Amino acid sequence: MPRETAAAKKERAKQICAALQRTYPDAHCELNFSNPLQLLVATILSAQCTDKRVNLVTAELFKQYRTAEEFAGVPLAEIEKAVKSTGFFRNKAKNIQACCAALVERCGGEVPRTMDELHALAGVGRKTANVVLGNAFGINVGLVVDTHVTRLSNRLGLAKGTDAVKLEQELMRLVPQPEWTVFSHWLIWHGRRRCEARKPDCANCEIKNLCPQIGVARNEQRRRQDAKK
C-alpha cells in the first residue's frame, strides 16, 4: 500500500468523523457531574480506573463535599476512605485536597477556564484540563488523549506512538477545532463498544472501510485489480 499523503489522511479523518458522528450522535463524557468542580474531581479519580467505578464513588462523595472549601478543609484520611476503591487512593486524595486548596487560595473556590491555570493545579495534567475545559465549559483548546484515543488513533493510522502530547498535536491537525472534544468521545465510545483492545469487532465495525487494518488496504487492492482489467 503506498504511503498516505497528508491531504488523503485529512480527508479520511473527515470521513471517520462523519461516520462516528452518525454512529454515536449522543456521545458525551461518561463521568457523572453537575458542575466544573465535580468534573475536575471525577477526572482526577478516573486515572487507571473505570468511569463506572468513579461514578459509584462520586455519587456518595459529592453528597458529602459540595465545594472546594469543603474538600480542602476535611481531614485527608476522610477523602482517602471515600475514594479508596478507585485505586491509588492516597495519591488521588492528596491531589484532590491540594487542588481544592489552591482553588480556594487562588481562584475564589472556582474552577478556572484556562489551560495554564488548570495545569498548575495538583493532579491536573493536560488530559484532565482538556476534559474539564471541553466538557464543563465547552472550550476546545486541546484534545483528550486517553488509552482508547491512543489505541484507536494508532489502529486507524491517524497518529503514531504512545506519547500523549505528540498524539494530541497530530490529531489536532487532522480534526477541526470545534470537534476536538466530541472527537475524543467518538473514539472513546467506539473503543468501548466496538474496537476493544483484545477483541475488536471488525466484522461489524462502522468505519472498517476507513481502517488501514481492513478497509483501506482492501480498497487499495481492489483499485489495483480494477486497473489491471
121, three cell numbers: 493545579
The secondary element (H helix, E strand) that includes residue 10 is helix 6-23
End-to-end CA distance of the chain, in Å? 19
Active-site position among 10, 84, 94, 146: 146
- Catalytic residue selected from 51, 127, 166, 226: 127
127 included as an active-site residue: yes
- Distance, in Å, from the CA atom of 139 to the CA atom of 160, rounded to the nearest integer, reads 26
**What does the DSSP assignment read for 164-223?**
HHHHHHHHHHHS-GGGHHHHHHHHHHHHHHT--SSS--GGG-TTGGG-TTTHHHHHHHHH
Q: Alpha-carbon distance 164 to 167, whole Å?
A: 5
Q: How far apart are CA 141 and CA 157, in angstroms?
A: 23
Is there a contact between 68 and 37 (Cβ–Cβ < 8 Å)?
yes
**40 within 8 A of 99, measured Cβ to Cβ:** yes
Q: Is 41 exposed, middle or buried (0-12, 13-18, 19+ CB in 10 A)?
A: buried
Question: Which positions are annotated as active-site residues?
Answer: 127, 146
